[in-house]
Amino acid sequence: MAGLGSSSSEMDLDRLNIEEYLTVESIRESPRKLHLRDLLDISPTLKEAAGAIVDDSFTRCFKSNPPEPWNWNVYLFPLWCLGVVIRYGILFPLRVTILAAGWIAFFSAFLPVHFLLGDHNKLRQKVERKLVEMICSVFVASWTGVIKYHGPRPSIRPQQVFVANHTSMIDFIILEQMTAFAVIMQKHPGWVGFIQKTILESVGCIWFNRTESKDREIVARKLREHTQGVDKNPVLIFPEGTCVNNHYTVMFKKGAFELGCAVCPVAIKYNKIFVDAFWNSKKQSFTMHLVQLMTSWAVVCDVWYLEPQYIRPGETPIEFAERVRDMISIRAGLKKVPWDGYLKYFRPSPKLIERKQQIFAESVLQRLEEK
Amino acid sequence: MGNTSSMLTQYDIEELQEHCNHAFSQQEIVSLYHRFCQLDRNGSGFIPGDEFLSVPEFAVNPLSQRLLRMLDGLNFKEFVAFLSAFSPRTSLQHKIEFIFRVYDFDSNGRVTFDDILCGLRDLTGSFISEQQRQKVLTRVLEEAGYTKDSSLVLSDFMKILGNSDLKMEVEVPID
């Protein structure tokens, strides 16, 4: 297991809870005398292994579904071609122009405000907040986002965090155009990283690197400070920690659920009629993802702001996280799987194997003692 | 991208069915082929062990390392043959043969005390001491009429496991 062990040490902070999520499966019931047959019969374990080879719920979470072309007959084909010409030849350049104009307008207002007004100026904060919301609306317009928001709009007040399921970085843009959230997100390279550092920091966003355990502590501390603040922008967390294809939800990281403040679930469901909004970051850069969205007819999406939840007496943060995950999954029609999304980047810890070994060992010992 | 199923012709599929004693329907074979291509990310024609371990449900299996030795470097035909042991259409005999092969690490056609002990070690890890493991195994072997020094052949496995209902059926998803 050398390969498995190497990466696990730094991930232990989050690993701690994966075992608590996995339920104990069939511990062999009725204790009876142990026969050679029982020792040699490894079929349940083999079955599990083969099942995972044939199909596994983890890979399914990150499978992108390419849109079905509908050019399959002689009448539809010219129409489809016309569509391609319109989408790439007219819509795309138009959208690029809109985006460029948006950025010019944004910077010509943002830069003077940012550098001329003092650090804790109320006016500056307000203007910057509005400008970030504005540029996000420009982004949404650049893919003709048709977004329906359900439920009450979030308000600015202390002691609350918003948690949402995560499909693509555009989740953030879609939510941000309505309310300037302070988001907690992975640090990105390139132009996205540049925007993160310069602009989004002004609305209180916090960036971290998934692989740095030190970063995680800093984030936890900043998060606590931020939620106590009175006029800070509301915090938004994507507790899955990675993009999932909007058919499943993976395990929630418990960080957001142990702050002791109100957790406001947000469910996001994309309609795949024109384009798959899942960002498969291993296959595609974010720029290419945006181009894909900008050459489609529209991005159709529903957003539900659900009722704020509080941790119940006697409930652990993990149980609380699961309860909120249930709410989001049901509302958005997603299936729950018991996996940590970080397994995309790391191998599962040997602890999970040990758990299975323990179950088997106990059943062997138990039956031996009864003799 | 592209339509990968087009690469399997009717002849290919029939040949594969022949090869695995019709354990899978034609649709199931196409499904398995998609899965094979998904795991064979470089398109090299076989799946490197590392790729199997990137499937967490497989990686957390106590027997994963043992199975990996059987799986490493299989082409699609061998991959189908490997999985055919898990088809509902496969005979009990074939399934027991498969279990035998899992135990028979050096594939010399004999499973010794040490072979079984080794398998037991994978399954129980550090939760049973080595002495306990040996004690348990010696005892159950003797009860079944064998000794510590006897080595089991396939027909012994048939006798031992022949009456039990093995839970070794895996459904191939068809989409």
Mutation target among B20, B47, B57 for the A interface, most CBs of A within 10 A: B57
Same domain, A131 and A106: yes
Tens digits of residue pLDDT in A61-89? 988 877 777 888 888 999 999 999 999 99
Selecting from A42, A51, A361 the residue whose C-beta is nearest the C-beta of B119 gives A42
Provide the pLDDT confidence category of residue A146 given band limits of 50, 70 and 90.
very high
Residue in chain A closest to B121 (alpha carbons) equals A357
Q: Is the residue at A68 inside a domain?
A: no
Mean pLDDT over each residue of chain A, to the nearest integer: 85
Token pair of A276, please?
């798959």
DSSP bridge partners of A182? A235
Q: pLDDT tens across A286-332, in order? A: 999 999 999 999 999 999 999 999 999 999 999 999 999 999 999 99
Whether A38 maps to a domain, the answer reads yes
Co-location of A252 and A280 in the same domain: yes
A360 lies within 8 A of chain B by CB: yes
Q: Are residues A245 and A213 in the same domain?
A: yes
One domain for residues A152 and A55: no
Judge if A139 and A246 occupy the same domain.
yes
Residue B55 is nearest to which of A36, A59, A368, comparing CB atoms? A59
Please tell me the predicted confidence (pLDDT) of residue A203: 86
Residue A249 lies in a domain: yes
Percent of chain A predicted with pLDDT > 70: 91
Q: Which domains does chain B have, with CATH numbers?
A: 10-84 (1.10.238.10), 92-161 (1.10.238.10)
**B157 contacts B100 by C-beta, under 8 angstroms:** yes
User: In the prediction, which pLDDT does A371 show?
Assistant: 52
Percent with pLDDT over 90 in chain A: 46
Residue A36 has its nearest CB partner, among B50, B98, B144, at: B144
Any domain includes A2: no
Q: Residue A277: pLDDT above 60? A: yes
- What residue of A is the nearest CA neighbor of B47? A53
| A3 inside domain | no
**Does residue A67 lie in a domain region?**
no
- Shared domain for A273 and A160, answered yes or no, is yes
CA A111 to CA A108: how far, in whole Å? 6
Residue A207 tokens, joined: 């960036």
Confidence band (pLDDT; 50, 70, 90) for A12? very low
Least Cα separation, residue B25 to chain A (angstroms)? 15
C-alpha torsion angle, residues A197, A200, A206, A207 (rounded to 10): -40
> How many domains does the structure of chain A reveal?
2
Same domain, A352 and A300: no
What does DSSP assign to residue A251? P
Q: Residue A32: which pLDDT band, with cuts at 50, 70 and 90?
A: low
* Inter-chain CB proximity B83 and A57 less than 8 Å: no
In order along its 175 residues, chain B shows pLDDT tens digits of 334 445 789 999 999 999 998 999 999 999 999 999 988 888 888 898 888 988 988 999 999 999 999 998 889 999 999 999 999 999 999 999 999 999 998 888 899 999 999 999 999 988 889 998 998 899 889 888 888 888 899 999 999 998 877 878 898 888 7
Q: Clarify whether residues A255 and A356 are in a common domain.
A: no
- The answer to whether the Cβ–Cβ distance between A56 and B120 falls below 8 Å is no
- Mean pLDDT over A346-353 rounds to 82
Look at residue A13 in the predicted model and tell me its pLDDT: 39
Query: How far apart are the CA of B154 and the nearest CA of chain A, in angstroms?
Result: 13
Q: Which of residues 211-250 of A touch B (CB under 8 A)?
A: none
Q: Are residues A137 and A219 in the same domain?
A: yes
pLDDT at A20 over 90: no
Q: What is the pLDDT of residue B6?
A: 52
Domain boundaries, position A106? 77-338
- Residue B5 is predicted with a pLDDT of 45
- pLDDT confidence bin for A370, thresholds 50/70/90: low
Task: Return the pLDDT at A59.
Answer: 87
Alpha carbon distances (Å) from A32 to A35, A367, A370, B119: 9, 6, 8, 22
Q: Is the same domain home to A212 and A356? A: no
> What's the mean pLDDT in A155-170?
91
Q: How far apart are CA A178 and CA A181, in angstroms?
A: 9
CA A236 to chain centre: 11
pLDDT of A10 reads 36
CATH number at residue A112: 3.40.1130
- A148 and A279 together in one domain: yes
Together in a domain, A326 and A365: no
